[in-house]
């Protein structure tokens, strides 16, 4: 995307084929269902999914799995997406602080997952094993005991086993995304703690491989920090639904962007922002 006279770069917005967009994580079925209803009622997609090049004319979704899944449910053939350079994106990992469900039920559920081995460890040893890819994840229990979750051979099997772990509490408990594996520091802010599930760090190459192999991670683990994220694009779904050639849709998008610039309707926020009404 060329630089503006101001020296700023606009987000790279494109209309692409829906079938060319692949997920690296599961969508949240409950959120997809409600989002599909809202999209159908409003007829507008407000914020474009964020994607990066996968290979050829294919893309991997970095943020927006639920939006993409909801649009697919509605049968929308084309998607308006923001394409980003993966080299300029920061990839972090969310951990799941689970609250509101009995700890015993969670621990029994872990023990019942086929092929999953539970091995006690210290927090330091669990961190080391996770960094060395010697376990899938580890759990810090409310009594400060730590359990390494071991099992699965290869990316597909290990991703499937992580999905089995998350299904034990997803929809049954509250999931708080955190980035600390020290439960003692988190405990003063939460009640009815079930456990803290700590996932491994991933590299962009891992995310691309998951998309190619359809080895989806559970939702809510990867965290992509996107520079210059486009918000409130407010795309009419009629445009994406129409049988107009995709090249024509992109020409319309370029003209629409030029008009927005000319009318000073595009605003850049470069500083971090904290919202209190989400």
Residue-wise pLDDT tens digits, 169-196:
998 999 999 999 999 999 999 999 999 9
Q: Specify burial of residue 214 (Cβ count, 10 A radius: 0-12, 13-18, 19+).
A: exposed
Whether 193 and 187 have beta carbons less than 8 Å apart is answered as yes
**What is the per-residue pLDDT for 35?**
96
Distance CA 23, CA 72 (A): 12
pLDDT for position 165: 97
At the topology level, CATH places domain 1-94+203-278 in 3.90.1530
Predicted pLDDT of residue 5: 55
111 to 115, 121, 217: CA distances (angstroms): 9, 16, 20
Q: 271 vs 11, which has greater pLDDT?
A: 11
Res 263: pLDDT = 84
Taking the domains of the chain in order of start, what are their residue ranges?
1-94+203-278, 95-198
Q: DSSP character for 244?
A: S
Tokens of 269: 């926020």
pLDDT in tens, 115-153: 999 999 999 999 999 999 999 999 999 999 999 999 988
Determine the pLDDT at residue 153.
87
Task: Give DSSP secondary structure letters for 36-93.
Answer: HHHHHHH-EE-SPPEEEEEETTEEEEEE-HHHHHHHHHTT--EEEEEEE-GGG-EEEE
Residues 14-72: tens digit of each pLDDT: 999 999 999 999 999 999 999 999 999 999 999 999 999 998 899 999 999 999 999 99
d(CA 99, CA 54) in angstroms, rounded, equals: 36
pLDDT, the chain, mean: 93
Are 188 and 174 contacting, i.e. CB atoms less than 8 angstroms apart? no
* Least confident stretch, 3-7, 69-73, 253-257: 3-7
Q: What is the pLDDT of residue 203?
A: 94
Does an H or E element contain 170, and which? none
Whole-number Å distance between alpha carbons of 229 and 201: 23
Q: State the pLDDT at residue 277.
A: 73
Q: What is the pLDDT of residue 248?
A: 94
> Which positions ≥6 away from 170 have C-beta within 8 Å?
218
CA atoms within 13 A on the CB side of 249: 22
pLDDT at 271 over 80: no
pLDDT at 262: 86
φ, ψ (nearest 5 deg) of residue 6: -75, -10
Residue 2 has pLDDT above 70, yes or no: no
The answer to whether residue 4 scores a pLDDT higher than 80 is: no
Helix-helix angle 29-42:65-73, to 10 degrees: 60
Q: Write down the pLDDT at residue 278.
A: 64
Q: Are strands 174-178 and 146-150 parallel, antiparallel or unpaired?
A: unpaired
pLDDT in tens, 212-251: 999 999 999 999 999 889 999 999 999 999 989 999 999 9
Burial class (CB in 10 A: 0-12, 13-18, 19+), 212: middle
The arithmetic mean of pLDDT across residues 197-220, rounded, is: 95
């Amino acid at each position: 995307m060329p630089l503006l006279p101001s020296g700023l770069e606009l987000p790279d917005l494109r209309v692409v084929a829906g079938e060319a967009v692949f997920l690296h994580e599961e969508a949240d079925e409950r959120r997809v269902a409600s989002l599909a209803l809202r999209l159908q009622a409003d007829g507008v997609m407000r914020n474009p999914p964020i994607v990066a090049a996968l290979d050829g004319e294919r893309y991997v979704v970095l943020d927006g799995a639920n939006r993409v899944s909801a649009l697919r449910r509605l049968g929308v053939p084309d998607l308006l997406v923001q394409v980003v350079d993966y080299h300029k994106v920061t990839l972090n990992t969310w951990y799941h602080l689970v609250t509101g469900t009995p700890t015993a039920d969670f621990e029994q559920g872990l023990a019942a997952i086929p092929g999953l081995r539970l091995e006690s460890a210290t927090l330091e040893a669990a961190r080391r094993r996770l960094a060395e890819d010697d376990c899938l994840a580890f759990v810090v229990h409310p009594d400060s005991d730590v359990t390494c979750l071991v099992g699965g051979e290869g990316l597909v099997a290990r991703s499937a086993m992580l999905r089995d772990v998350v299904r034990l509490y997803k929809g049954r408990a509250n999931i708080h995304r955190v980035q600390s594996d020290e439960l003692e520091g988190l405990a003063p802010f939460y009640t009815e703690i079930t456990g803290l599930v700590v996932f491994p760090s991933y590299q962009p190459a891992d995310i691309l491989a998951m998309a190619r192999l359809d080895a989806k991670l559970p939702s809510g683990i990867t965290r992509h920090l996107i520079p210059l994220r486009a918000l409130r694009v407010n795309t009419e779904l009629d445009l994406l639904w129409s049988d107009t050639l995709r090249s024509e849709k992109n020409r319309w998008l370029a003209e629409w962007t030029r008009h927005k610039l000319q009318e000073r309707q595009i605003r850049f926020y470069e500083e971090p922002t904290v919202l209190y009404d989400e």
